[in-house]
Structure 1
Amino acid sequence: MQRNRKTNDCKDLVTNHGGCPQGQGHDIDTDDNGNHETTVELEHTTSNEFNDYTGMEIYRQLRPLLICMRIFGLYFKRTTFQGRSRKPRMELVVMYCFVVNFLMVMNVLRSFTVYRIADDFDNVMVQRLLFTIWSTECTFKGLLLMWNCFRQNGLPHFFIEWDKTCGNIKLNKMCRFMMKKFLFLTFIFIIFNSVVFSLILLYVPLLKDIYLEVVWKNAVTYDNHAIFKTILGILAVLNSSSSMFPVSLFVVLSFAVGEQLRKFSDDLASAIADGDFNGRIDDFRLRHQNLITLVDILDRIFAPMIAAVFIANIPMFCLVLYTMVTTIDIHISLVLINLFWLCFILLQMTIVSVTAAWVNVKAHSPLDHIYSIRFSATSNDVQLQMLLFLNRLTGTQIGLTAMKMFVIDKPTILTVAGMMVTYFVLLIQFKMPVSADCHCNMTGTVFLNNATLIVSQIS
């Protein structure tokens, strides 16, 4: 006779105590001989515990930056109920973030409508290309940040994993200083960029006509320019915030993880100096692996942004250099604008590259200490643990990548810098004029038999 599985332990509990363990349902059946059988249905206990990372210490430390990002529609909180349903719960500000990102997407689509096949490659075309590339980069950063706020293995995963690995430790002075510094730089850039655009549209007719053509095709011919100027001012604020705030969050989180890697390396050096390393090698290896997990989460969040910075800023650098070389005698304001953009592009690429390379250096820093240890008299277990540790440190590059294509390290910075210098030299060579004018003054007399030809001047 086929029945559900019998559970004698639960049967004893029913007989002696009159119940089953909490969370398990049971049915008591009677067979033909009058014996009791207990059918147990095991149910997974569903917990309504709220997976809230907003009470963690790192979240409280980052609150000034996150509040500023929320004001510009670039961040919202997303928490989850644990259990079978795992229903997400988000702030109402998510609708505001959606509207901001929708406007930026529409701006990118609008920027492609100002091109015509018959257009010349002049100053207006260069500014259109610059505005399209920059708007696309900023929109991509905003959408990427919104997506990582929503998905559970994005920013929420980083905060939860940080709490498991590092606990409720406070960010050190360096991380807090970097957060304040980048908040200041971000607001300075937003204000300066918006004010400069406003002054250009009001007091520089030449640049006003160029930027109106960037907003809309043949916008100069319209009688009312106020609507185009308003659109350009709003877009300057939205693009500036979307350009700087994701980079600021990337730098602060990277410095936080890098400082933990630096502290790990210092603890490792202290343990080696005290002769206590061999007995704790397994703990050090697992602790390093947990920190590398934080690096991997950061890479999963910001790798597309790093790739977007390189892909967008290198052609923008070339276009700005080309404009500076070809329009240096047109108007001083155009030269200053191009110089400002050149400094911004170089600064952004330098910040992203140096930060990612610094994390790479700190992740591999234990190698310098491990290579100084003698393992000839250690046991096989210790040597096996050390072999695993060394394979993790030397097998593959650890760090932040550009879409998993390459790890950003010090040689990467030199490669990118050399490539940009090469482009600059090529642009200068293409711009150098080769004068074909020849002014010759010549006076002479030519005798042809009995005829005389006097040549007085040839130019």
Structure 2
Amino acid sequence: MHRTRIKNDCKEFINKNGLCTEGQGHGQDADDNGNHAVTVELEPRTSREYNDYTGMEIYRQLRPLLICMRMFGLFFKRTTFRGRNNKPQMEVIVLYCFIVNFLMVMNVLRSFTVYRVADEFDNVLVQRLLFTIWSTECTFKGLLLMWNCYKQNGLPKFFHEWDNTCGNVKLNKMCRFMMKKFLFLTFIFIIFNSVVFSLILVYVPILKNIYLEVVWKNAVMYEDHAIFKTILGILAVLNSSSSMFPVSLFVVLSFAVGEQLKKFTDDLATAIADDDFNGRIEDFRLRHQSLVTLVDILDRIFAPMIAAVFIANIPMFCLVLYTMVTTIDIHISLVLINLFWLCFILLQMTIVSVTAAWVNGKAHSPLDHIYSIRFSATSNDVQLQMLLFLNRLTGTQIGLTAMKMFVIDKPTILTVAGMMVTYFVLLIQFKMPVSADCHCNMTGTVFLNNATLIVSQIS
């Protein structure tokens, strides 16, 4: 009896503490008398929970975009081994990402060495300023993306939260279309920007001298320009990829979350139409809160990038516009390049602003349906849940921000657009030519003591 009780106690201890799995780590060994005893492993089994998000549906759907980002050193996978050591497991490609971002940081530092105190505010200085601002913006985007690939509450947190909230829901046709379109636009921009710089350095001597001065101080004085042209071509590729791929990922993830918010609003409207909302109000409120959590995670990841887009692109817009006004008679290629950059700046700011404002609108869209519900005959519990729901929708703005300074909504777009139009008008008036020739007719009489001078015409 005592032997049986000991065996049962051992089995209960083993099962409770997870020392081994079934058929592993314990067994019944026969002794010399033919009796069976339980063999227990004294070393507990390591819990091998592998926190891997690469098998999730959302990751598989985004794989084309993520593979392209890996090619340019902008994405790597980080998974966590949940065991004794709890060490993060990262791909070997993280070293390649580190090298790419290191080169971009060194490029930003190099861009500050081309300035001198005695420099005049001419076309060369304007191009230096443009290249410094753009390189800083692109480097910041690349470092931000690499940091969010590494930290657990970055992109890994988003993938896990999406899996907990949406499960194996596939991206709809709109999200897949946006991903394909932005991949196409990104590669077009990288190729076009690199080819344009190459053609300038070969066929346009005036602009070649300007852009060589952007790479290195007094680079025109050197006999061999091949190394400077190579550096400029490599930097064009790295900056172009770091400028577009983070924006592409931001748009695709925002559209994915926005579509889930739109589906939530449709389900809410259907439940209200079927008089099935009051009994499920708590479920709807918690479901909306889960989607808001996804928006908050996206905001933690991309809020610095949104702020960088606004901070960098507004002065770039002013500088490019100033260059277009002042250098329109230098060379047609410079006008075309400035027009291209002006379109790119406006397009990037429009994409980021409109996408963020669209998410903000979808997050608050249930209000239009909730205000049409009658709650006079409902219980206090239902009214309390509705009050919590309304406070969440109206108390604070839900959406993507620029470093938590302001939520981007439709009025924000109008404010930024009005500011840029104001700058445009001021620059045009500032550079409006004033004619120095004056043609006028004047007739009069001038009395000088006793003499009379008749002035008939002055031109």
Output aligned runs, 1:387-426, within 5 Å.
387-426=387-426
Q: CA offset at residue 432 of structure 1?
A: 1.0
**In 2, Cα distance between equivalents of 1:449 and 1:422:** 56
Residue 269 of structure 2 aligns with which residue? 269
**Post-superposition shift, 1:164?**
0.6
SS in structure 1 opposite 2:73?
coil
Distance 1:369 1:52, change over 3 A: same
State the match for 1:339 in structure 2: 339
Shift in alpha-carbon separation, 1:258–1:44, aligned structure 2, 3 A: farther
Deviations 1:55-86 (A, max 9, x none): 11111110000000000000000001124532
CA deviations 1:342-400 (Å, max 9, x no partner) are 00000000000000000000000111111110011111111111111111111100000
Cα gap change, 1:18/1:341 in structure 2, threshold over 3 Å: closer, same or farther?
Answer: closer
Q: Deviations over 1:300-321 (max 9, x none)?
A: 0000000000000000000001
* TM-score after normalising by structure 1: 0.90
Matches within 5 A, 1:64-213: 64-213=64-213
Change (3 A) 1:370 1:222: same
Q: C-alpha displacement at 1:435, in angstroms?
A: 2.9
Change (3 A) 1:56 1:442: same
Partner of 2:312: 312
CA 1:155–1:454: 2 relative to 1, 3 Å = same
Shift of 1:429: 1.1
1:14 Cα deviation from its structure 2 partner: 3.9
What is the count of residue pairs matched by the alignment? Answer: 433
Q: Distance in 2 between matches of 1:86 and 1:406?
A: 37
Letter aligned with residue 276 of structure 1: D
Secondary structure, in 3 states, of the residue corresponding to 1:276? coil
Find 1:21's aligned residue among 2, 9, 13.
Answer: 13
In the alignment, residue 317 of structure 1 is paired with which amino acid? F
CA distance in 1 between counterparts of 2:92 and 2:129 reads 36
Instruction: Look up the match of 1:33.
Output: none
**Could you say if the C-alpha distance between residues 118 and 81 of structure 1 is closer, same or farther in structure 2, counting changes exceeding 3 Å?**
same
Partner of 1:214: 214
Q: Structure 1: which amino acid aligns with 2:198?
A: S
SS at match of 1:290: helix
Deviation at 1:433, TM superposition (A): 2.2
Q: Note if contact 1:13-1:19 (Cα within 8 Å) is conserved in structure 2.
A: no
SS in 2 for 1:228: helix
Give unmatched runs, 5+ long, in structure 2: 20-42
Alignment-mate amino acid for residue 21 of structure 1: F
Amino acid at match of 2:154: G
Equivalent residue for 2:322?
322
Mark the CA change 1:449 to 1:352 in structure 2 (over 3 Å): closer, same or farther: closer
Offset from partner CA, 1:422-456 (integer Å, 9 cap, x none): 11111111111233432457799989899897979
Shift of the 20–428 alpha-carbon distance from structure 1 to 2, 3 Å rule, reads same
Displacement, 1:21?
A: 1.6
5+ residue gaps in structure 1?
1-11, 26-42
Judged with a 3 Å threshold, the aligned counterparts in structure 2 of structure 1 residues 20 and 229 are, in CA distance, closer, same or farther, namely: same
2:281 maps to what in 1? 281
| Cα distance change on mapping 1:421 and 1:454 into 2, 3 Å | closer
Q: In 2, distance between residues paired with 1:206 and 1:146?
A: 38
Superposition RMSD in Å: 2.3
Aligned residue for 1:415, secondary structure, equals helix
Change in Cα spacing, 1:296 to 1:84, as seen in structure 2 (3 Å) is farther
Q: Describe the shift of the 1:458–1:375 C-alpha distance in structure 2 as closer, same or farther (beyond 3 A).
A: closer
The answer to whether the 8 A contact 1:292-1:363 is kept is yes
The alignment partner of 1:81 has SS state of: strand
Distance 2:419 2:373 in 1: 41
**1:21 aligned counterpart, secondary structure:** helix
* Distance of aligned partners of 1:399 and 1:448 in 2 relative to their CA distance in 1, 3 Å threshold: closer
Distance of 1:258 and 1:322 partners within structure 2: 38
Write the letter of the residue equivalent to 2:366: P
Q: CA deviation at 1:272?
A: 0.5
Local SS of the residue matching 2:13: coil
Distance 1:302 1:264 in 2: 23
User: For the residues of structure 2 that align with 1:287 and 1:115, how far apart are their CA atoms?
Assistant: 55
Change beyond 3 A, Cα 1:151–1:448: closer
